[in-house]
Structure formats: C-alpha cells, structure tokens
A and B are shown apart, each in its own frame.
Chain A
Amino acid sequence: MRPTTRRSPPRLFLRFFRWYCHPHLLYHIEGDLMELYHERHDTSGKRKADIKFIVDVLLLFRPGIIKPSSSYHNLNHYAMIKSYLKIGIRNLLKYKGYSFINIGGLATGMAVAIIIGLWVYDELSFNHYHTNYPRIAQVIKGGTFQGKHFIGQDYLPYPLIEELQTTYGTNFKHVVPTSGPGGFGAVLSAGDKKLSRTGMYIGESAPEMFTWKMKYGTWSGLDDLHSMMISESTAKAFFGNDDPLGKPLKVNGTTDVVVTGVYEDFPKNSAFHGINFFEPWKFRLKREDWIAKQGWENHFLMVYVEIQPNISMERAGANIFNAEMNAIKDIDYLKEEMKYKPEVHLLPMDKWHLYSNFEEGVLQNGPVQIVWFMGAIGIFVLLLACINFMNLSTARSEKRAKEVGIRKTIGSVRRQLIGQFFSESFLVVILAFITALCLVSLSLPWFNQLAGKGMTMPWHLVYFWLISLGFILLTGLLAGSYPALYLSSFNPVHILKGTFRLRNTASIPRKVLVTLQFTVSVVLMICTGVIYHQIMFVKDRPVGYSREGLISMWKKSDEYNKQADVLRTELKATGAVIEVAESGGEVTGIWSNNGGFNWKGKDPNKDEEGFATLNVAPEFGKTVGWQFVAGRDFIPDMASDSSAMVINESAAKEMGLENPVGEVIHWANRPWGVDKDFTIIGVIKDMVMESPFESTRSSVYFTFGYKGVLLLRLNPAMSTSEALAKVEPVFTKIIPDIPFEYNFVDQSYASKFRAEERIGKLAAVFACLAIFISCLGLFGLASFVAEQRTKEIGIRKVLGASVTNLWGMLSKEFVGLVILACLIATPIAYYILDEWLKSYAYRTSISVWILTMAGLGALAITLLTVSYQSIRAALANPVKSLRSE
C-alpha cells in the first residue's frame, strides 16, 4: 500500500465540503468519501478518483446536508420581543420607587437637553426671519483712538449716508437709514382711541429689504410722505378686524398720517421685535430739517444696507472702507478728525446678534460662546443622566443575575439577552422622553420668561420629530449599552451555584462619576451664591441721588413746553409734587457725550475722552436730590448761571483741579453750538446714571439746550398711588391729547440688574438640576454599595454593631468623595468667578463663607441621600441577609 500522504483527495474540495457540511453529518460522510476515494484510487488511479470525489462533493451540496445558516432558529421574534417588554414592564412596576427615580432622572436630563437645544436653535436662527439676511449688513465705523485700533461704532454722521447712496451706490441694492435701534415711543390715536406704541423712522425700501410679511398693502407702503405702516397687533388694537388700509391716524396728537400697510409682528428673535409702526425716512428729513445740516462730526444715525446680488460682502466692505477718509480729507474744519483715521465697515446681519462685541478692532465671539457653552452644558447634563441610568440599572444587577443565569441555561444566547436589556432600556427611554416632552411643554413659558425668549415647541416640524427619534435612539443606545453588555456577560454556572459576586472594581467608575457630578454641583452652587452676592452688593451701592418717588416722562408733544409754567404751578398746587424739573434725557442714562473742553493745566498730549455733557433745568438738582461736595446748586432765574457748570467728583479728578469751584473751563462744540467759557459753581457726588456695575463717568451739568424729559418729585408724605391720583387730572386737563404715561425712576434703575439677575436665576436653576442629578448618581452608588455589603452588614450586626455604627461606616465613604469634590470645585469656581467679577468695575470679593456654605450644603445633601440607603441596610434583619445562601 502506498503511503497515505500521496493518496489525498483534492484539498480545495475537501475543505469546501468541510465548510458546508452539517456538523452532525460531517465526520462519517467524510469517512465514507475517503474510503471510496482510496478504493477508487487503488482500482482506477488518482485522476479518476479525484474526479469522482469532486462529483460526489458537488452532489452532496444539497439541502439536508448543508448546515443551517445560523446555529439557532429565530422564528419567533415577535413573541420574544413581546415577552421582553412584558418582563420589562413587570420589573418597572415591581420596583416603583426605583423606576420613578430612574425615569424621572433621565426625563430631567432629557428635558434640560431639549430646552437648551431649543434655546441654541433660537439663538442661531436669530434674524433668519428676514429672508435676505445673508446679504444685509449694518454700516459701522472704526478708527484709531489713543493709539489703539477700534471698530464697532454704530452711529454714523449724516453726510456718510449721502456718500454711501451716491458715490458708493453701485455696491448696494438698498441703503436704509433708521432713527436708531429700539425705536422711539409715541402716542397713536384714531378718533378717541389713544395708544402708546414704539415706532421707527426707516428708509422707504426697508419692507422689501427685510421681507416684511404683509397682511394688508404692499412693500411700497412707505413711498408716500404721510404714510405709516403698522404691525398686525397695532392694527387689531385700533381697527379690530376691519381693513385698516387708508385709515387716518394721528401721531402724538399733531401729525396726520394714513395707514398704507400692515405687516405681521416681528418675532422675538428678530432685531426689529417690538417695533409697532414705521414712518418714512424722508418724512423725518422734512420735519427735522436740522438733520440734513449736520456735518461729519455728529454721529447719531444708523444705516442698514443690502448689497447687490453680484457682489460679495467682503468686496462691498473693501469698497467702502475709505469712504469717510476720502470725503473729509479736503474739509478744513475736520483736520482734527483725520488723526482718528476713520474707517467704514459692514457688519453682516447674521452676526448682529451673536458677534456684536468688538475689542481692539477684532470681532469677538461674545454671545456665541455662551451659546456653545450652553450647548455643552446640555450635552453634559444628558450624559450625566445617561450614566446615572446605567448606574442605577447595574447597581441592582444582582437582582437580575439569577434571571440571566436561568435564561442562559434554558438556551438564551448572549445576543438575545443583549436584545432583552436593550428593549428594556428603550422602554424606559421612551417613557422618559414622553415625560421630558411634557416637562418641556409645561416649563417652556416659564423658561421663556426667564431667558427673555419667545420659543415654542416645533410640533409641526418634520425635522423636530426626526431629531427626536435620533435622540431616543442615541440615548437608548448610550444608556442601555452598559447594562446590556454587562448583565449579559454573567456566567450562568457562577450565578446559579451562588458563588457569583460583583467585582469590587465595578464601584470605581461610579465613585469617579459621583465626584465629578458633585464637583459640577458645588461649582454651580458657589456661582449662584457669588452672583447673588454681587447683585446685592451693587444694589446697595450709593447712587448719589434719591430715586424713590421720582417719576419721569418724555414730552410727547410741544404742548409740554408751551404749558410748562402752568403745569409747574398746577402740579405744585396739588401738594402731591414737591418739585418739577426738566432734563435732556432720563436720569437712568447718559444722553450726550462730548469733547472740546479746555481748562487751566490740561495735559495737551492726552487724547481727550470727553465728558458726559448733560443739560438740565436749574431745578434738576433739587428734584433728583443730588449731593454737593463743594459749591452750590444752580439758582433758577439767575442770568449768570447760563454759563455755569456743576461737575461731578470724577470730572474734578480727571481735570486735576485741587479746588474746582470758581475755576473756568472753555468748551467749544459744533453740535451743541457753543464756544465759550463756563464757571464751575459746584461739585457733586458721582451719580450712578448708567450701569451700576460700572464706574461712573466724568460728567458736567449745564442749563442750556432742549430738554425732552419731565421729572417729578412726589411728596414723600403721601403714598404713591395717592399722589399719582392727584397728578393725573392735572395732565389730562392741560394736555388732553397725550395719555398720562410715566416711568418710575427706581424701576428703570432696577431694570439695569435684569441681565445679572437672569444669569443668577439660570445659575440657580442649573445648580438645582445638577444637585438633583448628582443625588441620583449618589443614590445609585449608595444602593450598589449597600447591596454589595449586605452579608457584611449582617455579620457585623450579629457581632454587635449598632445601627449608628453601620450608618457611619456606610456614609463615611461618600462624605469623603464629596469633600474631595468640594476641594476640586472650590479653586475652579474661584477662578471662573474671579474672571467674571473682573468684568465689573464695581464689584464685591468672593467671600469665604459662600465657599463654606456651598461645601456644607453639598455635605448635608449627601448625608440625606446616603442615609436613606445606609439606614435601610443597617436596619435590615441579619437573619434574612445571611440565610439567602
């Protein structure tokens, strides 16, 4: 017999056979094949034997011999999934408290993520309401001041607008001047109906450029000189459901206009939100003929442009860069201006909202960073919630371990167990998502108020549902992966024999997580504390005048000036008003800032920053109650006081005058029309007129110039409502055309805290949520540890440990973790808050007690959370825990 090695059949076909053959049949059929092959080899030679072998192998390739494609038959998917869901629901119902915490925690995380997602979407889509936003820009100015390049001055001189319309007109489809952001208040009246509304003068092509959504009329509604376009809500308020086109309106009781168009109200995320009527720009030019006479040095107008479709934003920006330089270089009186090297820039519309900060000539990220920061917080919160979900699911794994063991023994494959746990986590995630949607719908109005937004749930958007679906999938996979993979990996033999123990290392990631969560919570707690502390500190700042019982109102018609003396005497006669005064603007703002001052000993090399130049009536000081450091107040009817000035302490310091009272300063300024000497008659304490968080500006007060605001000091002996009831009839009698409307100065002042209070509230909300989620994480860890140490606790109890002992033993570990979190959090919070406080000129310092309180608060919350688990474990009957072997 020849050696076996030489009598082997074609290897390729043998391997093919081995690959396809059913494992149960493989050995003996292969044996048969080999036996036949050897026999044929001996009788008819290798070649014939080979061929026959190949034929046999190929003929064996038929159903019945081929192995099935998978090792088990999955015929019953539907029934299996049904059973998974049923068991999942039973598990949820069996541990109701636990399910509540788990679903509630995940829902909270999801709700936060959804709200933040909506907020980010709202911020990023700011101004997208105006279809042409990619080609719209605002014209702004830049230059060099005190050796530094600056950019971002949005008020422009009148001749620049003319220059843009004529010389550079080819770049732009529309050039639209406006009377400034926010508009102005005015009283509209139709017949007897009078309403205060905010309006704006705007270039005639604005409706087309900003694609107003017209309800009545067309985009060309502003072409007529006496036309007015009003918002839908205003139209409703005046004319109900009637067609308002062609209806007459009166502005401030004097000007007659005709409604030529009604547009849909602008949404909150539009730069024009809240503007209820528009009047044509050319009407303003005609009525206020001083505007067209202004030169290059008076910056008081704003301009929006839409560039031509065939030109890029950069190109247009480059074309107008030198527009002002080229125009003013030959004008004599502007030689001084040239040293500021004025530049003209375009600020694209999609950057108005999120990128409006400029620093040293570079566009800063500013608000957009907050948007991304908030987005990161949203993802972070969701991630924490997901990890907590995993934690809580696996913490109870010993309860499910036996089920896994039995299932595996009966024949479940690992893949099926993974499927089971995934379907359970999807069940929870879907329940949590529905809860989250409810939470979001309920809290959205409240959040809108808090964040000053007008967000709605986009139920009607397909995208929203697609994203929601993706969101559920992602969260389900994220939250379900660890339990699914971990629980399904248990070895059934170990579980059922009772030698199964959760590894000690499994608690390390949990500890890291709890520490991380508490670090975040403590940071947020400290932030909340310090923000509120700062707000309280600034609220206590001495403001230099008394704002309680002070009311202000804009003179909405010339009647106020004509009837000034009558008003004053009648008001005083009521006994409700102690003093009446006028000023150029509201006390809670600085309305004018100018240069052109000269005084003895002025440093000629220093670029002057100018002073706040505030024109007030002689009674102003007495009305607002400013406080003198030196000198005297203005005296009404004293002729020489028309060239007198009262300055504040900052101005005295800036001027470097030892004894300012009686000094003479020279002021030359074209817009104010002055070029003369003024005598300083008094020095007052700094009045906080702008942001109370900033240092006060150097200011000078004088008595000439037009004063548009009326100030009333109410009698403190009377209650405010009593006093107002007496004041109102005076106004309605003397000026019947204008409704009696006023501001409380203390309320306007309080509104300056709104941004900070908003940050404070947001920080507080996030701190609460972070603490809630951290507590869930801690709860998960505590229950995990308590479960793991059940036997140990039983033995300790048998040996005589008291409940207090055990409670201390179980809580100690967590207290350690939280102290560690506090130690990490404190420097982080200190660093962040120190940077934040540095942005305020008037600021508090971070006090130790806030840091201590935050740490103690975190500890107290920890003990409360952990005690539930540890006391329960300590109270458990040791017989029960030790018996279950």
Chain B
Amino acid sequence: MKKYQLGEFEEVVILTIGVLYNDAYGVSIKKEIENRLSRNVSMGALHTALKRLEDKGYIRSHDGETTEERAGRPKKYFEITALGKKAMEYTRNTREDLWRSIPKVALQVKIAGQ
C-alpha cells in the first residue's frame, strides 16, 4: 500500500527544503542539491517536483521579498508541513527497515567483492 508516496527526486527536494529550513526557495534549493549531490537540476524538473509536493500537501509556500535580481518578482519560500514530515519519516523508516532486514552476510559478500 502506498500510504505516503514520495518519489526519489521528490525526497531529495523535500529533504533539501528541510536542510535550508527558512531559506528554501527555487534557486536556493537548486543550488543546494547541485552542491551536495553534484548532480544537475533543471528548473523544469525542480518546479514540477515542487508543485507535485505542494499538491500532495507535503510542503506549503508563502510569498517572500522581491529583489532587483529577480526583476521585481517575489521569492516563494517553501516549508515542510506535518503531513510532509510524516511522509519523510515513513520513507526513512521503510528504508531503515529494509536496511535492518538485510542479512549481514549479504553485505559482507558485497564488501568482500569490492
């Protein structure tokens, strides 16, 4: 059962929003992900993910200040909602469950194989 649906990229984005806490808006999220995960993030992918997260109710947004750089357009800050937090925890728990369920031998074999 998919109780909390969270895609891989969506997870990255919502985690990054958490990391940035009060300074999470489009460009800062993009830069943070690029820095930390050294992967390229297109505006299209990012904003689609943001919109989807917002539609699911995992994050909410409020308009922020405008700067000259942004040609007078307001920033839109994102923060994680309670539901979003639950979804993150759920994802994390399922992963850890999975980690825990892996027999030690399996990992050792892998490490040994390296």
Interface residues of chain A, those whose CB is within 8 Å of chain B, are: 4, 25, 27-36, 38-39, 55-56, 58-62, 64-65
Chain B 26-64 interface residues, beta-carbon cutoff 8 Å to A: 26-27, 30, 42-45, 47-48, 51-52, 63
Task: Determine if B70 is an interface residue (Cβ-Cβ < 8 Å).
Answer: yes
Q: Which residue of A lies closest to B76 (CB)?
A: A28
Cβ 8 A contact of B44, one of A27, A31, A61: A61
Q: Is B94 positioned at the interface, with any CB of A under 8 Å from its CB?
A: no
> Contact partner of A27 among B27, B45, B73, CB < 8 A?
B73
Query: Are A32 and B27 touching (Cβ within 8 A)?
Result: yes
Beta-carbon contact of B71 and A65 below 8 Å:
no
Give min CB distance, B43 to chain A, whole Å. Answer: 4
For A29, what are the chain B residues with a Cβ–Cβ distance below 8 Å? 26, 43, 47
For the complex formed, measure the closest distance between the CB of B31 and the CB atoms of chain A, giving whole angstroms. Answer: 9
A34 lies within 8 A of B43 (CB): no
Interface of B is mostly: mixed
> Once the chains bind, are A28 and B43 in contact (CB under 8 Å)?
no
Told that A28-B25, A29-B47 touch, could you supply 13 new A-B pairs with CB distance under 8 A? A28-B73, A28-B74, A30-B71, A31-B70, A31-B71, A31-B75, A34-B69, A34-B73, A35-B67, A36-B30, A58-B44, A64-B51, A65-B48
Chain B interface residue count, CB cutoff 8 Å, equals 23
In the complex, which residue of chain B has the Cβ closest to the Cβ of A27? B73
- By a CB distance below 8 angstroms, the chain B residues around A38 are 69
Q: What are the residues of chain A within 8 A of B81 when measuring CB–CB?
A: none
- CA A510 – CA B43 in complex, angstroms? 62
What chain A residues lie within 8 Å of B45 (beta carbons)?
59
Determine the chain A residues whose CB is within 8 A of the CB of B73 once the complex forms. Answer: 27-28, 30-31, 34
B5 within 8 Å of A by Cβ? no
List B residues at the A interface (Cβ < 8 Å): 25-27, 30, 42-45, 47-48, 51-52, 63, 66-71, 73-76
Is there an interface contact between B42 and A65, defined as CB atoms closer than 8 Å? no
Question: What residues of chain A lie closer than 8 Å to B44, measured between beta carbons?
Answer: 56, 58-62, 65
- Out of B30, B48, B52, B74, name the residue touching A31 (CB < 8 Å): B74
Q: A62: which B residues are within 8 A, CB to CB?
A: 44, 48
- Among A33, A55, A58, find the residue whose CB has the most chain B CB atoms closer than 10 A: A33
Contact A27 B74 (CB under 8 A): yes
Q: Name which of B68, B69, B74, B76 has the most chain A CB atoms within 10 A of its CB.
A: B69
Tell me, in angstroms, the Cα distance from A30 to B67 when the chains sit together: 13
On chain B, the residues within 8 Å of A60 by CB distance are 43-44, 47
Residues of B within 8 A of A61 (CB): 44
CB of A32 within 8 A of CB of B25, answer yes
The 5 nearest A-B residue pairs measured at CB = A31-B73, A59-B44, A32-B26, A28-B76, A31-B70
Which A residue sits closest to B73, measured CB to CB? Answer: A31
Residues of A within 8 A of B51 (CB): 25, 64-65
Name the distance in Å between A20's Cβ and chain B's nearest Cβ: 12
Residues of A within 8 A of B26 (CB): 28-29, 31-32
A726 to B51: give the CA distance in the assembly, Å: 111
Q: Is the CB of A56 within 8 A of B42?
A: yes
Contact A36 B27, beta carbon cutoff 8 Å: yes
Interchain CB contact under 8 A, A32 and B63: no
With a cutoff of 8 Å between Cβ atoms, the chain B residues found around residue A65 in the complex are: 44, 47-48, 51
